[in-house]
């Protein structure tokens, strides 16, 4: 499998990175270099193998459903680029 410029543009869009046209061109080569190399995995027969997502050997721990933290509005907003009235401000999304 390999990517072309249209695919790179689609991935950039999914990743929300505005990649300029000339850079998209370069990324085709760079990404295909990596994808060709990882295609080595096709040699391995994994038909009877379960995927491994976690190595902890234990399930997720549980605790009672109680509020243990919160009411930290000032801390949450301490690094915000733009704020008003205790909210995050972003460009208008609804006309």
Partner 1 sequence: MADLLSLSAVEARAALDAGDVSAPELTGAYLAAIEETGALNNFVAVTADRAMEMAEASQARIKAGEAGLIEGIPVGVKDLFCTAGVASTACSKILGGFTPTYESTVTANLWREGGVMLGKINCDEFAMGSANETSAFGPAVNPWQASDGTDLVPGGSSGGSASAVAARSALLATGTDTGGSIRQPAAFCGVVGMKPTYGRCSRWGIVAFASSLDQAGPFSRTVADNALMMQAMASHDLKDSTSTDAPLPDLMAALDKGVKGMKIGVPSEYVMDGMDSEVVALWEKGQAWLRDAGAELVEISLPHTKYALPAYYIIAPAEASSNLARYDGVRYGLRVEADSLDDMYGETRAAGFGDEVQRRIMIGTYVLSAGYYDAYYLKAQKVRRLIKQDFDTAYETVDAILTPATPTAAFPVGRKVDDPVTNFLNDVFTVPANLAGLPGMAVPAGLNADGLPLGLQILGRPFDEATLYSIGRVIEDAAAFDAVPSRRAGGA
Give the Cα separation of 20 and 10 in Å (integer).
13
Where does this chain bind partner 1 (CB under 8 A)? 1, 3, 7-8, 11-12, 14-20, 27, 30-31, 33-35, 37-44, 46, 49-58, 60-61, 63, 72, 75-76, 78-82, 88, 90-91, 93
Write down the number of H helices and E strands in the chain.
3, 2
CA angle, 35 as apex, 34 and 41 as ends, to 5°?
110
Query: Residue 57 CB, nearest distance to partner 1 (Å)?
Result: 7
CB of 66 to partner 1, least distance (A): 12
């Amino acid at each position: 499998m390999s990517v072309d410029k249209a695919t790179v543009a689609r991935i950039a869009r999914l990743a929300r990175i505005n990649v300029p046209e000339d850079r998209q061109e370069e990324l085709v080569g760079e990404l295909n270099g990596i994808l060709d190399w990882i295609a080595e995995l096709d040699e391995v027969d994994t038909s009877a193998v379960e995927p491994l997502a976690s190595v902890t050997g234990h399930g997720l721990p549980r605790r009672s459903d109680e509020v243990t933290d919160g009411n930290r509005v000032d801390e949450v907003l301490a690094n915000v680029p733009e704020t008003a009235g205790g909210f995050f401000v972003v460009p208008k999304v609804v006309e």
